[in-house]
Structure formats: structure tokens, C-alpha cells
Structure 1
Amino acid sequence: MSHIGTSLAERFRGYFPVVIDVETAGFNAQTDAILEIAAVTLRINADGLMEPQTIFHEHVAPFEGANIEKAAIEFNGIDPFCALRGAIDEASVFKELCKHVRKAQKEADCQRSVIVAHNATFDQSFVNAALARHNIKRTPFHPFVSFDTTTLAALCLGQTVLVKACEAAQIEFKQSEAHSALYDTQKTAELFCWMVNRYQALGGWPLPAPSNDEIDTDQK
């Protein structure tokens, strides 16, 4: 069952969902470098289904004085100082990210963007730290609201690990591509769309209009 009349703004109370993943040089958002970031914006298509729309992706040069944990870069396989990465300074990356998201948010007639991520607290903390570090005021992102696909996947699929959740939803996931911000963001976006669309197909959205009895009760 599709409901073609639902807009993105109507679906999330004016919030514009933006799927984000960061690859970092540690777990401390205040001190550790962001090395890569990707963002996928979403839309509702002509069939009333949510799908990925635009992609933003950049390799990020460590900010001055950033901490780099050896274990972190061994895990994600990123050499922070490799010239072939084509890394851009952090301030420029986040200014461009905000510009990209603001444009898509405006086109969707939404008022604020909300970060969608797998274990969203982690990615949101790094995004917020970078925005504060460079005193970027024109940010489209809500400072603390987020949509966590880990929680949603636990509810919808009984899985919390990204690859396991994708497998349960029959979304192809190549483990060899994991821990790339671009690949993980694209897969998280697919998973989020699958869960939203699945909930709609099962009749969970839109909510039924209140009956006259319910309206009368509310007014008493």
C-alpha cells in the first residue's frame, strides 16, 4: 500500500533526514580527527516510497593538533597523510556539507535537518564538534535530535550490526567495502529507506484519521 500524497516534510514533522557516516582517528569527538565523511539525502518518489537522492563525500585532512589513534587507523585502513586521498581541510568540508544539505532541505520544504546514522550518537558528536571547532553558524542540523538505524533495525529486523541488518533486509552488503564512509552511508541509507517503506507497506503509515468519538473525547 503506497500513499503518494505524503511529502517528506509531512512524514517527519518538518525534519529533513540526512544519512551520515564518518570515519575517524579515534572515539573522542573533541580531540580525534575526522578522516572521511559522506552524506546521503533522501526523497519520496512518485510511488510514495522513500529512496536515496544526492550524495556528498569528501576525504578530510586532520585539523591542527588533532589526535590520531594508531588502533583506529589500523582498523579503518586510512593513512591520514597520504596525498593520494585528496583530503580537504575540515572547515571547507563542513561548510560545503552544510551548503549541500541546506539546498536539499529547502527543496523538500523542510525546516531542519536531522542526522540519520548507525549508532547515531557517535557520528552526530563528531559532526557537532567540527561545526563548533570552525564556528560554523549556518548549520542545517538539529543539535541533538537524530534517527538511529541501530535502534530501528533492532525493532524491525532483530539485528543491531549494520551488515547483519542489511542481510536480514536482503540488502547486498560487501564486507570488503565496509568502513568506507561512502559505502557505509549508502548502505545505511538503503536500510533506513527499507525500514520506512516496510512500515508503510504494513499499514503503519499514514496514521488513521481519528474517529468522531475520539475527537469528541479530546475536546472534553
Structure 2
Amino acid sequence: MEKSVTDITAPIIGQRFRGFLPIVVDVETAGFNAKTDALLEIACIPILYNEQGEFVPGKALHAHINPFEGANLDRRSLDFIGIDPFNPMRMAMAEDEKSALKRIFKELTAIRREQECTHAVLVGHNAHFDLGFLQAAVARTGTKNQSPFHSFSVFDTVTLSAVMFGQTVLAKSCIQAGIDFDGKEAHSALYDTQKTAELFCYILNKLAPNLLDTMTADQ
């Protein structure tokens, strides 16, 4: 008997990317050198399937982070992203506190296991920039064994957008995809991660066959 959509549970990502769980990440930093400049904000969104076999953004994880001891704070970078690292309203925490990187890693690892994935792979717009700062923070905090991320593999939405739209700028790529983008909200890690996740899902859903169709055809 043919199953209806409501009878089918959401498939798991472990079936799709060789056991990788795509997690969209964006960081806001006090410069461009991952080893010397402060990581100030991080947001992560896992990419999952809905019951229709479409890629969708999962729950967002987000933290404001205090500069590590001795960190360089480039004034031009701070002015550009609009962050005052020492503003108490940020409710920031140290990198190595349980409620910062460790908390995010713990939640992402739980999702990775639920999705039957062996690793997480970082998805980003200029992904190696975000991976570099994440790895530097992992090295400083001694959380290598807790990080779910692959050490060098990434999925880059710059490349995907260039192929799909002929664009490499996040805002322009979103506009091409019909995704609302507010330039006033840009350079917030959470907002940029949300928009990158929407863009990544849009591109995948356009390029990849609908998984639900494939599954029902085999039944």
C-alpha cells in the first residue's frame, strides 16, 4: 500500500553525505589572524531533512565570547562588525566555560549521533576562515576531543553560489535565491548563519533529487 507523507518520518542525514552532518557556522572576530585575534561570537545551525526529504535548517546554537587573554583586537575589524567586546550587555563568556564552546559541541554531538553521522562538516561562506578560528579556539581550550567537526573538510557556499548564481557575496547570493537579506543585520554571527543555512538548503534542494520521492519509489 502506498504511504502518505504523514506516514513517513524524516530521513536522517547519515544516509546522504558519507556520514557527515553539515553544520553551518559563522564567527565574528577581532581581526583576520585566527592565532592572534579574538573570537567574539559564534553561531551554528545543523542541516537536517524534513519529512518531505527536503534540506532544512535545524536549531540554532549561539554564544558571545570574551576575548582570550592576550588577544589582539583590531579596531577596524571591531568598527566593521559593530561589536564592543567589553560591553556587559553582550552577556559574553570565556571560551573554555562549559556554557560556551563545550556546550555547543555537546549539543552538536548529540545531533550528530541522532543523525547517525560519524563527523560534522563545517558549512560556511568562505568556510576555511570560520574553520580556522574555530580550530584556534579548540586548541586554546583543549577541546579537540569534544569538537565534532572534521579537521579540514568543509562545504563552502561561496563556491556553491558561484556555480548556482554567478555570485560570491552572501547578500547578493541570497537575493538571487529569493531569500530576504537585511544588510543592517549582517555581521551578526547568528543572522549570517541563519541566512547561510537558508542559502545552503535552497541550493541543495535545487540541485539534489527529492529524497522522499526516491524512498517511496523503492517501497
| Length-normalised TM-score, structure 1 | 0.88
What SS does structure 2 have at the residue aligned with 1:28? Answer: coil
- 1:172 alignment partner in structure 2: 180
Supply the distance in 1 between the matched residues of 2:12 and 2:46 (Cα, whole angstroms).
14
What SS does structure 1 have at the residue aligned with 2:208? Answer: helix
Q: Are 1:139 and 2:147 counterparts? A: yes
What SS does structure 2 have at the residue aligned with 1:43? Answer: strand
What SS does structure 1 have at the residue aligned with 2:44? Answer: strand
After superposition, the C-alpha distances for 1:105-161 in whole angstroms (9 at most, x for unaligned) are 011110000100000010000000000111112211101000000001101111100
Question: Could you tell me which amino acid in structure 1 is paired with residue 172 of structure 2?
Answer: K
- 2:169 alignment partner in structure 1: 161
1:34 aligned residue (35, 39, 60): 39
After superposition, the C-alpha distances for 1:76-102 in whole angstroms (9 at most, x for unaligned) are 000000111100111121111110110
Question: Could you tell me which amino acid in structure 2 is paired with residue 118 of structure 1?
Answer: H
- 1:101 alignment partner in structure 2: 108
Q: Displacement of 1:7 after TM fit?
A: 3.3
What SS does structure 1 have at the residue aligned with 2:83? Answer: coil
Select between 170-179 and 86-95 the one with higher mean Cα deviation.
86-95
| Length-normalised TM-score, structure 2 | 0.89
Q: Which runs of 4+ in 1 moved over 6 A?
A: none
2:93 aligned residue (76, 79, 88): 88
After superposition, the C-alpha distances for 1:193-220 in whole angstroms (9 at most, x for unaligned) are 00000012599x97xxxxxxxxxxxxxx
Gaps of 5+ in 2: 1-8, 215-219
RMSD of the TM alignment (CA)?
2.0
- 2:203 alignment partner in structure 1: 195
What SS does structure 2 have at the residue aligned with 1:175? Answer: coil
Q: Displacement of 1:167 after TM fit?
A: 0.3
Supply the distance in 1 between the matched residues of 2:81 and 2:201 (Cα, whole angstroms).
26
Supply the distance in 1 between the matched residues of 2:148 and 2:193 (Cα, whole angstroms).
19
Equivalences, count: 204
Question: Could you tell me which amino acid in structure 1 is paired with residue 114 of structure 2?
Answer: E
Q: Are 1:181 and 2:189 counterparts? A: yes
